[in-house]
Amino acid sequence: MIVGGDFNNWDGQARTNIIKLNEDGTEDFGFYSNNSGANGAVFAIESLPNGKILVGGNFTSLGASYDRFVCLNSNGTADSNFYANSGGLDNTVLAIKYSKTLQRIFVGGKFSSNKVAVFDVTGSPDSAKNSNIGTGANGDVNS
């Protein structure tokens, strides 16, 4: 299980906003050693069928330089094949949902325009689906 939030300590250890727990509830120390945590709050986490983990929030770094949205491998390293530093995510990510049927990632948040963005599984914006959304919600999208 991945735990995200706005914290700098977990069970007496310095941890920054994200950790992974083993099935018995103990911390997976390897996960944290592969990234330095997020430098801002983590608000959304979505596990993918392939074991990768989508993470969103108000951070600019999570093991590498990423703006608010990143895909991690199951060991905590950033997936270098995933690219989502485009697509209108110019503010905090509050929600992430993966559609297995559509093979698409839906991201909601406090973006300046169109509060929902759609990406394919590589992190590339889906321009057709994003255009179909139109102007989207007039307020933040939380789930």
107 vs 97: CA distance, rounded Å: 7
Average pLDDT by consecutive 10-residue portion of the chain (143 residues)? 95 93 94 85 96 94 83 91 73 96 94 87 84 77 88
pLDDT value of residue 125: 87
pLDDT value of residue 88: 66
Q: Is 14 helix (H, G, I), strand (E, B) or coil?
A: strand
User: What percentage of the chain reaches a pLDDT higher than 70?
Assistant: 96
The answer to whether the beta carbons of residues 107 and 96 sit under 8 Å apart is yes
pTM, rounded to two decimals: 0.91
